[in-house]
Amino acid sequence: MRGSRGQFLFASAPDSWGVLDYPGPSWDQSYEIMLDEMAGAGYTGTELGPYGFFPTDPEILQPQLAKRKLELLGSFVPVKMGDPAARTAVLERIRKVGKLLAILKAPFLVMADDQSPERNAFSGRTHDPGCPTLSAEQWRHVGKVVADAERVASEFGLDLVFHPHVATYVETPEECERFFDAASHTNIGLCLDTGHCVYGQGDSVREAEKYKNKLRLVHVKDCNAKVLEEARGNKWTFEEAIEHRVFTIIGQGDIDFSTFFRTLAKNGYSGWSVVEQDVKFGDTAIAPAENVATSLKYLQGVVSKLDRAWVAS
């Protein structure tokens, strides 16, 4: 294991302020104050969030990032992967976001399946009878869409990574395996989200080990196991679970981040971890600025322990 100092870089993201994927009240908050709070907490990077929340004019956004010494990492782009009729719209969306990311020299485009009502009804319970799945034909289409998306992303010099996500058709470890089988002819990497992994009945350490050669970006969430158990028992949608605060300040939930980051270090992972917490806008237990600051302080402590262990060895 090499030293972790400089190996792990931490970024923030707008969803910790309750910014949803589509315009609404959460988009009315000041992005400049948000960037101030990220930088003030000690973060050195941010994701774009949903296209349109931050200014889409790079001549406006780039100076805002630069004066706070924040790097732009990429953008989360959910698309309808299993729908052949959506192919044109999928590629147009990736191209639109990719153009902005390229101008701002962001390295990643984070692709995910779009949430759907039929899968949201089985969030965290995909093994229950009646849960819909993709057909063999749809999986073949997924492989084609990923190849098309990779070509578009490469036009902009972007690294395409895939994010398994709750309430989509690629939520569980088994579905993640099926995805990478379907996309085996591409070089798409993995963006592992610790919170979504646990919600989807996975183990983030096990997934980090399994995909150590594909893991190129990490999203850090913590999860309250008791609330997640209630969510499954009450058959809550993903949004209902978020309202009940299934995700917590990092370090105050039940994910073992010491083992997780030790696994990343052992496998030579080097780069960004995006600290985020899906929350309901305007209904947070503490202010988002305090949330992200406390989370970062905890993770810096985890990394410092790895440093001390490395020096001792």
In the predicted model, is pLDDT for residue 108 greater than 80? yes
Structure confidence at residue 2 as a pLDDT band (50, 70, 90): very low
What pLDDT is recorded for position 3?
44
What pLDDT is recorded for position 183?
98
Structure confidence at residue 5 as a pLDDT band (50, 70, 90): low
What pLDDT is recorded for position 286?
87
CA dihedral 70, 74, 75, 79 (to 10 degrees): 180
End-to-end CA separation in angstroms for the chain: 9
73 closest CA partner among 220, 272, 219, 264: 272
In the predicted model, is pLDDT for residue 6 greater than 90? no
Residue recorded with tokens 């895939």: 162
In the predicted model, is pLDDT for residue 4 greater than 80? no
Structure confidence at residue 43 as a pLDDT band (50, 70, 90): very high
In the predicted model, is pLDDT for residue 310 greater than 70? no
Over residues 131-181, the pLDDT tens digits come to: 999 999 999 999 999 999 999 999 999 999 999 999 999 999 999 999 999
Q: What percent of the chain has pLDDT over 70?
A: 96
Q: What is the mean pLDDT of residues 278-299?
A: 92
Mean pLDDT of the chain: 94
218 closest CA partner among 108, 308, 297: 108
Over residues 173-209, the pLDDT tens digits come to: 999 999 999 999 999 999 999 999 999 999 999 999 9
Chain centroid to CA 261: how far?
16
This prediction's pTM: 0.95
Provide CB contacts within 8 A for 180, sequence distance 6+: 162, 188, 190, 211, 214
Q: Exposed, middle or buried, 233 (CB in 10 Å: 0-12/13-18/19+)?
A: exposed
Look at the chain and count its residues. Answer: 313
What pLDDT is recorded for position 98?
97
Q: What percent of the chain has pLDDT over 90?
A: 90
* Cα–Cα dist 180/194, whole Å: 18
